[in-house]
Amino acid sequence: MTEILKSRQFLLDFVQVAFILTDIHSKILYANRYAEHLFGYTKEEMEGQRIRTFFFEEDLKYFLPNIVFLAIYKAGFEGDGLLRQKDGKGIFVHLSTASFKEGGETFLTFSFQEIQRLKRLEREKLELRHRASLGMMVEEIAHQVRNPIASIGGYAQRLMKTSVSSPKTEDYLNRILRETKRLAEMIRRMEELVKIPRPVFQREKFLDVVEKTLQSVSQEEKSRGISFNLEEGSLKGEEYFYIDRGLVIRALLHILENSIESIGQGKGKKDRKRIRVFLACNEEDVEISVSDRGEGISKKNLDRIFEPFFSTRPERVGLGLAFVKRVVEDHGGRIRIDSRLRSGTTVTLTFPKDRRRPIRREWLSSEAENQYSSL
């Protein structure tokens, strides 16, 4: 049996579950590659040892003998337990055991799955379900609320066109119009956040994406005296990265919008109305940093800026940075914000140049390259 398993070990090594085969006395005859990863021992170190190697001292008297008994004489065991790795640290696993006979001998099988990994997979699954249900709920709310908001705004505009009885009445109508526009914008931003599509990755020129984004905002802001300085930094030639172009541009626009608002429309020194966009890259990543010398963010608020609906400005919805964070993380990237009150803010987005594994983007060997011609 051991020889058969060893001759087929490449099959078991692909399984993302630690698998161990023992004889009836729990002597380890075979361990797959994932068992090495889980427990920290090499195959050679495990084979020939007893399964007790992975159990803590307090579980050798009852827990392990009971498991072996259930495996040999009953339907096996399935449950959770704390086992021991090579370095002595504990690891929570889901353990399954069974037994079978071959050639007159009895063999025991033990399979182990790391609970943290199972929990992570379950969390990801639940998050996807939550996003889907949240999206449907927001869509229904938007449908139900948008029509009344449009009616209120429409009637207020009609009243503004008629003879307004007093300045106070005109002020009230202006407030109604402002608040209906704010509610409509809130609904639009909520839909944008919960209905973010999964990225469709394409190879894009790094500099081209940033320049196109700046072009879409710079003309509008020139009249306000706001300028953009694009610094190419460590870029050497044409750099490419794999992104969803539309999503990344929308995320950058949110950041630029925040910088523009932070600078404000008030009078100030020319250099305080300049937004610096700095680009950098290395072998693995590209970085986009957007810096302004606006009002900045206080320390007490810095930890909350990614929370949906959090904003230091009452007139703002507070969903822009939540959108940016989702987009960046869906691209396998990172976002960092450095800010000081009344000194300015720098937002840095880091994207991997290529999320694809090496096997999908480069030759692993000259033999692999030669094999291409025969395919």
The 10s digit of each residue's pLDDT in 2-17 is 565 555 555 666 778 8
Which residues fall within 8 angstroms of residue 172, CB to CB, at 6 or more apart?
Answer: none
For residue 273, give the DSSP letter.
G
Asked if 107 and 22 touch (Cβ cutoff 8 Å), the reply is yes
DSSP E strands, 282-320: 285-292
Dmax over CA atoms of the chain, in Å, equals 102
Pair type for strands 274-281 and 227-231:
parallel
| 263/270 Cα distance (integer angstroms) | 11
DSSP E strands, the chain: 18-23, 28-31, 78-84, 90-102, 105-114, 202-205, 227-231, 240-243, 274-281, 285-292, 334-340, 344-352
Closest CA to 85 of 133, 36, 129: 36
| 147/350 Cα distance (integer angstroms) | 40
| 244/204 Cα distance (integer angstroms) | 9
Closest CA to 108 of 166, 41, 50: 50
| 253/287 Cα distance (integer angstroms) | 16
Question: Which amino acid belongs to residue 240?
Answer: Y
- For the chain, which residues score pLDDT lower than 50? 265-266, 374
Which residues fall within 8 angstroms of residue 210, CB to CB, at 6 or more apart?
Answer: 230, 252, 277, 279, 288
Q: Where in the chain is the domain with CATH 3.30.450.20?
A: 2-114
pLDDT tens sequence across 165-201: 788 888 888 888 888 887 877 777 777 766 677 888 8
pLDDT number for residue 316 = 60
| 190/303 Cα distance (integer angstroms) | 21
pLDDT number for residue 217 = 83
Closest CA to 266 of 229, 293, 230: 293
199-358 to CATH, choices 3.60.9.10, 3.30.565.10, 3.40.50.2300, 3.30.465.10: 3.30.565.10
| 22/35 Cα distance (integer angstroms) | 13
Q: Where in the chain is the domain with CATH 3.30.565.10?
A: 199-358
Asked if 309 and 302 touch (Cβ cutoff 8 Å), the reply is no
- 26 φψ region: left (φ > 0), alpha (ψ -120 to 50), beta (else): left
Residue listed under structure tokens 């948008």: 146
2-114 to CATH, choices 1.10.10.10, 3.90.45.10, 3.40.30.10, 3.30.450.20: 3.30.450.20
Residue 93: other Cβ atoms inside 10 A: 23
Closest CA to 106 of 5, 12, 21: 21
DSSP E strands, 32-134: 78-84, 90-102, 105-114
The pTM of the full predicted model, rounded to 2 decimals, is 0.55
pLDDT number for residue 370 = 66
| 204/353 Cα distance (integer angstroms) | 10
Q: What stretch of H or E contains 72?
A: helix 63-73
